[in-house]
Amino acid sequence: MPDHPTQPNPPKAEDHYYAALDRMAEGHPAQAVEEFRKSLAADPTFTDALHGLSRALQDLNRLDEAIEVSQRISELDPDDVLAHTSLSILYQKKGMVPEAEAEAAKARVLGWKQQLKRNDG
């Protein structure tokens, strides 16, 4: 028997993720950022939390940070259409038109590839 009392299970990545979604729905993106970061501390590869974090940062007009997060998603999952779409939007908001167009093209090609795979299967 342990000498110390049993600690309750620490919150899981999903728990913080859903709390972050609640903060976003309530119109509190800064609080959502905190919850998304806690989610990612528990699971750094949780792409849903990364997507949420990027969006919350975008809502706070913290575009450079949002770009970094979206780039991380595309590193973790190069076939993630939403990551490239998000990057396109973020680059466009920053006036980085060539970069925005390049990411939009990547998103379109990935979308077509995914559609072809579904149609072939």
Residue type, 70: S
pLDDT at 113: 87
Helix axis angle, 81-93 relative to 97-120, nearest 10°? 160
Confidence band (pLDDT; 50, 70, 90) for 10? low
- Supply the pTM of this predicted model: 0.85
Sequence-ordered strand ranges (E) for 4-95? none
Each domain of the chain, given as residue ranges in start order, spans 13-120
State the Cα–Cα distance between residues 42 and 10, nearest whole angstrom.
9
pLDDT tens, 19-66? 999 999 999 999 999 999 999 999 999 999 999 999 999 999 999 999
The more confidently predicted of residues 118 and 71 is: 71
- Condensed to tens digits (0 to 9), the pLDDT of residues 69-102 reads 999 999 999 999 999 999 999 999 999 999 999 9
User: Which of the listed CATH numbers 3.40.50.1010, 1.25.40.10, 3.40.50.150, 1.10.10.10 matches domain 13-120?
Assistant: 1.25.40.10
